[in-house]
Amino acid sequence: MARFAWLVPATAAVVVTGIAVSTLTVNTSAAVRVGNPAPDFTAKTSTGQTVRLSDHKGKVVVLEWTNHECPFVVKHYGTGNMQKLQQEAKAKGVVWLSVVSSAPGQQGFVTADQANGVVKDKKATPTAVLLDPDGSLGKMYNARTTPHMFVIDKSGKLQYMGAIDDAPSLADQDVSKANNYVRTALGQVMVGQPVTTSTTQPYGCSVKYKN
């Protein structure tokens, strides 16, 4: 049975709809703490461009860790939930960066062409897909799961990190019932309000870093 890691408050492993889910601890490193400047980085996109986070200062930025083969990611894309959130955010001028940190040979690894194919097939609309096969960007942000979401404000400070919503299940019908943390955080950040729920436990498949 494939194992998918999921961050939850409990210490024991649990089983969700037949999938074994193991727990991980949250790294509270100051480098990736809400209220601190988001770590700057340089990364290559699936279209061959170089992106630097600091180039987007003055804009709100979302980082979305993704793995198109992870069933939790499949849920959010299969229901159109992630695409709708991307469209809403970009319509407000938000920069949306999807990050693939799966290593070669691991679940979810994609070449640049494959990444572009996934975007087209899913009708996704990120600003760019960042390829992170060596895991350096993912480890810089302590990205643990797919999805794992981060919202950075116009000044470059991290304002939200954690789960996309409060429904850590594989059931499609739970998407419409869930409290979407990212949507709420974006709405508050865009108008300069404090984010009421700024840190949550991310859930999903473990990021498939190089062993």
pLDDT tens string 27-65: 434 479 999 999 999 999 999 999 999 999 999 999 999
Helices 81-91 and 71-78 pack at an angle, to 10 degrees, of 60
Please report which helix (H) or strand (E) contains residue 158, including its range. Answer: strand 158-162
Domain extents in the chain:
33-206
pLDDT tens string 68-118: 999 999 999 999 999 999 999 999 999 999 999 999 999 999 999 999 999
DSSP-derived letter for residue 56 is G
For 136, list phi and psi in degrees, rounded to 5: -65, -40
Provide the 3-class DSSP secondary structure of residue 25.
coil
Average pLDDT taken over every residue of the chain: 88
Query: In terms of DSSP bridges, do strands 158-162 and 148-152 run parallel, antiparallel, or are they unpaired?
Result: antiparallel
Pick the CATH number of 33-206 from 3.40.30.10, 1.10.10.10, 3.30.70.380, 3.40.50.720: 3.40.30.10
Over residues 173-191, mean pLDDT: 97
Quote the pLDDT of residue 211. 77
Residue 7 pLDDT > 60, yes or no? Answer: no
Q: What is the pTM of this model?
A: 0.87
Terminal Cα-to-Cα distance of the chain (whole angstroms): 19
Would you say 126 and 97 are in contact if contact means Cβ atoms under 8 Å apart?
yes
